[in-house]
Amino acid sequence: MSAPESSAPSNPQGPIPHRKVIRQWLTPLSAPSTPIALGLVALDLALFAACLWLVVAAPSAWMQVTVAIVEGLVIARLFILGHDACHQSLTAHRGLNRWVGRLVFLPSLTTFSLWEVGHNLVHHNHTNMSGLDNVWRPFSPAEYRALPAGRQALERVYRSGWAPWLYYFVEIWWTKLWFPNRRQMPTRRPAFLHDSLLVTAGALAWIAGLAAAAHATGQSPVWLLFVGFALPFLIWNGVMGFVVYVHHTHAEIEWYDDEMAWHEAKPYVTTTVHLTFRAGLGALLHHILEHTAHHVDMRIPLYRLRAAQAVLDEKLAGHIVVQPFSWKWYARTARTCKLYDYQARCWTDFEGRPALAAEPKPPAATTAGVATLG
């Protein structure tokens, strides 16, 4: 499907149009295609099965490790398909989306119903709103100083740039997506338990299959479980942790602790980064890095996100943060965007130095006051 014709871009200095207006621009791209979706599901499931076979059959340890890395990336691809299914944007059928989503979530050990609540209802409805959105939420300098020394040290590790895998594994998957306790998930639904048991059964079947393959081929079960299960799972955690980090951590991306100021900022456009890669590398992750379009309209299928993002980049030029990826930029971001000063509305490092020498912004209280008067 071709992209819709684009009218004149919005004024970069003017207000961002209402979300309904922006969604109208993208309406021709919002209809899912069941054949395309099922084709992508079949492809990625076949790639996952091929990785499992190759990790057993590979003749050397270094080849097994290489396959394990690829397997981790394939798990990420399957997860992204499940992410769309959970948004009801993968296929045109609601029930099919729910069953396909549960299936393709199994390799990432993601509990469908828990992800649906934490991602669809919380993250998307409260993106970058402190106290509600809990994915890579930055501490304020005062909050950080009040943390115990051990938790401060852990936060330094998380935001070092080297440990997105650890953040996602501990703070998201282990804490919120697999049998969460009542503090993390006060609401108790039968689907949470059933889906967590389904994920557990999938993991046990995966482990048992690798153990049987190790016995049949005379390999070390510990080694084969490492390269066939543990390492791919850690790679997947690293990919997911990195993707979420770069989507919402940037010197020009704001977080909020005032709901009125947050509403005024049009968070469906301004709270996420469009990260671009050379040589079409974004396609390897099903264009999930075309993230502004996804936050504007969750109905847009992943196979149309690139076209939708192109429309937004043109019509909302100056309002969307478009960041060409480079390791230099990533290192600078990890070095300078550690905490967030919610009053000065800027990122700082752990010593309180602002991340970006930008034009002064009005204090948060003033912004909230203007919003209230409006």
Q: What are phi and psi of 349, to 5 degrees?
A: -85, -175
Residues 6+ apart with CB under 8 A from 181: none
273 token code pair: 């980064």
* Residue 358 pLDDT greater than 50, yes or no: no
pLDDT of residue 17: 82
Domain definitions of the chain by residue range: 19-338
- What's the pLDDT tens digit per position in 206-218? 999 999 999 999 9
Per DSSP, 347 falls in state E
More confident residue, 222 or 188: 222
pLDDT tens digits for range 331-356: 999 999 999 999 988 999 999 888 87
Task: Give the Cα separation of 282 and 274 in Å (integer).
Answer: 11
What whole-number percentage of the chain has pLDDT above 90? 60
Does the structure show a pLDDT above 70 at 312? yes
Q: What is the pLDDT of residue 9?
A: 53
Judge whether residue 370 has pLDDT over 50: no
How many residues are there in the chain?
374
Backbone angles phi, psi at 184, to 5 degrees: -80, -35
Separation of alpha carbons 115 and 83, rounded Å: 9
Expressed in angstroms, the distance from the first to the final Cα of the chain is 40
151 against 259, higher pLDDT: 151
Checking if the pLDDT of 373 tops 90, the result is no
Tell me which residue has tokens 């396609």. Answer: 283
Whole-model pTM: value is 0.88
Q: Which long-range contacts (CB under 8 A, 24 or more apart) does 113-116 make?
A: 113/189, 113/191, 113/192, 113/194, 113/195, 114/176, 114/177, 114/178, 114/180, 114/185, 114/192, 114/195, 114/196, 115/82, 115/83, 115/86, 115/177, 116/86
The pLDDT score that the predictor gives to residue 146 is 96
> 188 versus 77: which is more confidently predicted?
77
State the pLDDT at residue 10: 53
Confidence of residue 195 (pLDDT cuts 50, 70, 90): very high
- Most confident region among 35-44, 123-132, 304-313 by mean pLDDT: 35-44
- Name the average pLDDT for the chain: 88
The pLDDT, as a whole number, for residue 6 is 44
What is residue 133's predicted lDDT score, i.e. its pLDDT? Answer: 85
Q: pLDDT per residue over 257-302, tens digit each?
A: 988 888 888 888 888 999 998 867 778 889 888 888 898 888 999 9
HSE toward the beta carbon, residue 366, CA cutoff 13 A: 7
Cβ neighbours of residue 343 closer than 8 Å, sequence gap 6 or more: 363, 364, 365
Find out whether 325 and 277 touch, Cβ atoms under 8 Å: yes
Return the axis-axis angle of helices 34-57 and 94-105, rounded to nearest 10°. Answer: 10
Q: What integer is the mean pLDDT of 77-97?
A: 95
